[in-house]
Amino acid sequence: MKKMCLALALCLTALAGVFAQDKPFTMGVVLGASTVDGVTYKQIGLQPKMRFGKLGLGLDINLLMDETGAIRKEDWDDVGDYLDKLYYISWAQRGEPFYFKLGAFDKTAPLTLGYGILMSRYTNTTEYPTYKRWGLDIGFETPYVGGQAFVANFKDLDFKDFKKSGPVLGTRIYAKPGIPWIQIGLSSAMDLNEYKGLRDNDGDGWPDRIDQLPYDGGYHTMADYYYAKLKGSLGSDAADVVGALQDEGLIDRAIDTSYVPGSVSRVFLWAADLGFELVGSPDSFALGKHDFLKFQLYAQFARSFQSDFLAKEGWGLAPGVKFGFGSIGEIYAEFRHQTKGFQIGYFDETYDLQRAVFKVDEGTGIVYPVTKKQSLPQSEALSGVYAGWDFNIAGYLLFGAGYKYMLSGQTDETNQSLRVSLGMGEELKNLVKIVSRAEAYYVHNNLDDVKKLFKLDEGTMWGAALGYAAGEGVSIELEYSTVFVDRNGDGEINFKKESDTHFSILTSVSF
């Protein structure tokens, strides 16, 4: 099976080059390894991407094979699995009069609402390809008004009982009220159930971490399974036999947990922002049109829907400034203040990793869930700064970084985040012609101590890519990325057992 799939993929790539026409088309062949639920699989896949005018289409046809060469059947046993083979359908780009993207929105086009007080750099591909989300980003823009709406993952919707649905949703509307250099915006972001972040492969209401049969929707404990199998022949004695088998250690006892199936944890946030474009476009207030320099002032205020408007808790404030320098890049900085029960940039690039996790009580051994809302800083208030810069250094290097530091006025509690990325610019690619791509990134969100900057947790993710230019329009790329899941809930990350790593070799032909 492996040899046949490999031969098929290579043949399709070769045919793509043979029948190439003057059309925007890329055929990618992926060979590599991917970790799913702690198991490493060999990966082979096809990733064709096509564009016809404003219409874009991307497919993602992956085969994951275990050490025996057997294809992972869980990727092909449900209608939704076939939907996963469609990576995206898009029309136009953000900033155009009308656009949409249905499917995956990755780190090349992350979601930020307004200036980011609610949502900043969110992507629904954080755990790709271990887990594939299928969402919608749609919006419009005119000279006077614009809007945006998104659904992070349609798989979190329950069309039979909408009350059980739990997707991440967001909306934004903004206007220039007769004064073109002023923009006013209103945004909302919500998670209808953070517990949807606890993976439940068989959909029986028991997340995989506490489900002893995570791919069998009929049972969640080994005792229930064997009791059902033995009841027909042993009748009432089945329970005693199962108990005896547990006493002998032949059947695992149920996991002791406080989780209740059907639990709900909702987050509803809203924000208002006001921006002044003082230098930059033809409509700027001060110096008017300037092709190189841009200067913006803005302010943001946000609050939880679950807090009273005048309540002392559950809100945040972030005025800021942003300088743009043409194609060179931009610098931005914010003063931030947030009260208990609120976190600025709540929905960030690692949100899906921290949305809900299981922990273990060291004293009792009970496994219990913790949502991101429950893990918010407990200080009455935190104040601090967030600053970042994204630069194109003479076309040779692309460098980006962002750092947040928030400090409590009453305690030693802090909240910190770091984002760093480095890439290869077009000028350097022209100089080193054999390299088509080189980039790396590191993200660590919501630290409570700077000393833990490189200590692994669910807020950590990193990755890198290196491409070899094999010929005109042909590139061979190595991609590597890792995210972390504290599967046993002990508060420590075991790199080998609790990391989801994706490594692949992608051969792409563009024409």
pLDDT value at residue 127:
87
Q: Which two tokens stand for residue 472?
A: 């005109």
The per-residue pLDDT for 158 is 80
Would you tell me the crossing angle of helices 238-247 and 222-234 to the nearest 10 degrees?
140
Q: What percent of the chain has pLDDT over 70?
A: 91
pLDDT band at 189 (very low <50, low <70, confident <90, very high): very high
pLDDT at 290: 62
Q: What is the pLDDT of residue 492?
A: 86
Contact between 484 and 460 (Cβ < 8 Å): yes
* Model confidence at 385: pLDDT above 60: yes
pLDDT at res. 320: 98
Write down the pLDDT at residue 462.
95
Q: With beta carbons less than 8 A apart as the criterion, state whether 15 and 48 touch.
A: no
Mean pLDDT of 241-268: 90
Query: CA-CA distance, 401 to 391, in Å (whole number)?
Result: 9
pLDDT above 90 for 387: yes
> In the predicted model, is pLDDT for residue 261 greater than 70?
yes
Indicate the range of 51-55, 222-226, 255-259, 445-449 predicted with least confidence: 445-449
63-76 residue pLDDT tens: 888 888 888 887 88
Q: What is the pLDDT of residue 302?
A: 96
Kindly give, in sequence order, each residue whose CB lies less than 8 Å from that of residue 19, ignoring residues fewer than 6 positions away. Answer: none
**pLDDT at res. 310:** 56
Q: What is the pLDDT of residues 46-62, one digit of tens each?
A: 889 999 999 999 999 88
So what's the pLDDT on residue 502?
A: 85
Q: Convert 332-389 into a string of H (helix), E (strand) and C (coil).
A: EEEEEEEECCCCCCCECCCHHHHCEEEEECCCCCCEEEEECHHHCCCCCEEEEEEEEE
Residue range 72-95: mean pLDDT, rounded: 86
Place 4 in a pLDDT band, splitting at 50, 70 and 90: very low
Residue percentage of the chain with pLDDT more than 90:
49
pLDDT at 495: 87
**Of 94-108, 223-237, 340-354, which range is least confident?**
223-237
Mean pLDDT across 97-116: 93
- Residue 311: per-residue pLDDT: 61
Q: pLDDT by residue (tens digit) across 296-338?
A: 999 999 999 865 555 667 899 999 999 999 889 999 999 999 9
Contact call for residues 17 and 23 (beta carbons, < 8 A) = no
DSSP conformation letters of 214-225: TT-TT-SSHHHH
Its pTM stands at 0.85
Q: Which two tokens stand for residue 343?
A: 């976190």
Cβ atoms within 10 A of the Cβ of 468, count? 14
pLDDT in tens, 435-493: 999 999 999 998 877 778 788 888 899 999 999 998 887 889 999 999 998 877 788 88
- pLDDT value of residue 8: 44
- Which 3 state secondary structure label does DSSP give 409? coil
Q: For position 5, what pLDDT does the model report? A: 47
318 membership: H or E segment, kind and range: none
Cβ partners under 8 Å of residue 510, min gap 6: 25, 26, 473, 474, 475
* Beta partners for residue 332, in sequence order: 322, 388
- CB pairs under 8 A, 24+ apart, for 127-133? 127/352, 127/353, 127/483, 127/500, 128/104, 128/502, 129/34, 129/43, 129/60, 129/62, 129/502, 130/34, 130/35, 130/36, 130/37, 130/500, 130/502, 131/199, 132/60, 132/84, 132/104, 133/104, 133/352
pLDDT of residue 332: 97
Calculate the average pLDDT of the chain. 86
Nearest to 268 by CA among 363, 358, 192: 192
Cα Rg, the chain, nearest whole Å:
25
